[in-house]
């Protein structure tokens, strides 16, 4: 029987140490939870696994204002359509390539006020044996397109570069203040999210990403490190070409690792001594379309190869979504537990 707590396992992984079992994280959609309850005749399956990581942070939307029965406006002024899954942005507050007239200071105050200190204190107090991450949603790139529109941002990065850099700088100021707020709490690390890639590569292109996003994101990393915390970044898609850059920037842990977009085992072989990795179990192919045996085989391979030498947190690349068959969700629970 191991004497390590889940928190100690994660800390050991960050130190490139192997532990009794590979630390892991599983997010499960409610529909899948319901089917697991039916399969096991209750919630006994929850006792089979341990929660290694817990999150505190800013809500995805601080003040969602209903627009109509399908749409809400967030505190940044972006309007979201909730009638489809996933939700998607349909209207953006900065219509022209200019920051004039947009009150960044007022928005930042609303965002900072939305942090629920009592809830954070409660979660942290109840999670002394867990690894606690302070979370900031929507990184610089993502926040820029929720303010301006995705296509507009791609155009701005080429044709309105001075404006786009000014926009990124204003967002950077806001996010530095949000990081400072998170780091007031006794958290173990800070978790950022910014999807730079689609499944073909870096959406802005590596060179433009290096010019526009790299130096500003590095300032976020430096602020977190100054507070004595490791940096975790969620990034979907294929960013293989810029992994050396994120290592140079000081990223501690890269999360998601979509195997449909990148060869996660090659990332481990080439970069695993300089970058910790989190994720790697495919939610587009093996989980929804593979057999239970194929799911089990892939999880065992991840544990063996990605976990070798530490520096790895086992996880699906995305939550277990409704399209995952019950038998495959069962395989995840039973194999992640790593019992016997």
Whether 321 and 29 have beta carbons less than 8 Å apart is answered as: yes
Is residue 174 situated within a structural domain? Answer: yes
pLDDT at residue 84 in the model: 80
Strands 71-73 and 312-316: unpaired
**In the chain, count of helices (H) and strands (E)?**
14, 11
Say if 320 falls within a structural domain: yes
Nearest to 208 by CA among 139, 260, 160: 160
pLDDT in tens, 232-257: 999 999 999 999 999 999 999 999 99
Digit-coded pLDDT (tens) for 63-93: 899 999 999 999 999 999 998 878 899 999 9
pLDDT digits (tens, 9 = 90+) for 178-219: 999 999 999 999 999 999 999 999 999 999 999 999 999 999
SS3 101: coil
Sheet holding 189-193, edge to edge: 53-57, 131-136, 189-193, 231-235, 253-256, 276-281, 312-316
Note whether residue 310 is domain-resident: yes
Domain that holds residue 55: 6-62+103-336
Burial (Cβ within 10 Å: 0-12, 13-18, ≥19) of residue 193: middle
Q: Alpha-carbon distance 234 to 256, whole Å?
A: 6
Residue 174's Cβ-side half-sphere holds a number of Cα atoms within 13 Å equal to: 26
CATH of the domain at 42: 3.20.20.210
What's this model's pTM, rounded to 2 decimal places?
Answer: 0.96
Average pLDDT, the chain: 97
Position 205 in a domain: yes
How many domains in the chain? 1
Give one DSSP letter per residue of 131-175, joined into a string.
EEEEEE-S-HHHHHHHHH-HHHHHHHHHHSHHHHHHHHHHHHHHH
In a domain, 76, yes or no: no
Residue 84 resides in a domain: no
Q: Residue 70: inside a domain, yes or no?
A: no
**Is 94 within the bounds of a domain?**
no
At residue 2, the pLDDT reads: 61
């Amino acid at each position: 029987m191991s004497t390590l707590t889940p928190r100690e396992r994660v800390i050991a992984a960050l130190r490139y140490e192997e532990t009794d079992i590979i630390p892991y994280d599983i997010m499960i959609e409610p529909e899948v939870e319901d089917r697991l309850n039916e399969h096991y005749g209750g919630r006994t399956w929850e006792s089979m696994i341990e929660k290694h990581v817990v999150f505190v942070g800013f809500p995805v939307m601080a003040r969602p204002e209903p627009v109509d029965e399908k749409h809400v406006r967030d505190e940044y002024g972006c309007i979201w359509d909730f009638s489809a899954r996933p939700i998607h942005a349909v209207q953006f507050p900065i219509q022209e390539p200019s920051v004039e007239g947009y009150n960044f200071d007022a928005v930042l105050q609303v965002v900072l006020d939305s942090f629920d200190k009592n809830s954070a204190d409660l979660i942290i107090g109840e999670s002394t044996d867990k690894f606690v991450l302070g979370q900031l949603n929507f990184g610089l790139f993502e926040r820029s397109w929720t303010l301006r529109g995705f296509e507009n941002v791609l155009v701005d990065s080429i044709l309105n570069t001075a404006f786009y850099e000014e926009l990124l700088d204003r967002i950077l100021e806001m996010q530095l203040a949000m990081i400072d707020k998170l780091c007031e709490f006794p958290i173990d690390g800070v978790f950022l999210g910014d999807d730079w890639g689609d499944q073909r590569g870096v959406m802005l292109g590596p060179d433009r990403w290096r010019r526009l996003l790299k130096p500003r994101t590095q300032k976020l990393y430096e602020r977190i490190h100054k507070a004595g915390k490791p940096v975790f970044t969620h990034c979907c898609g294929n960013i293989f070409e810029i992994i050396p850059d994120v290592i140079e920037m000081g990223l501690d842990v890269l999360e998601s690792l979509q195997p449909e977009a990148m060869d996660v085992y090659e990332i481990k072989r080439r970069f695993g001594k300089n970058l910790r990795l989190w994720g790697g179990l495919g939610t587009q192919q093996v989980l929804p379309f593979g057999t239970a045996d194929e799911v089990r085989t892939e999880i065992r391979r991840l544990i063996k190869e990605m976990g070798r030498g530490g520096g790895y947190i086992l996880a699906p690349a995305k939550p277990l979504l409704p399209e995952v068959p019950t038998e495959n969700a069962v395989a995840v629970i039973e194999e992640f537990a790593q019992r016997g």
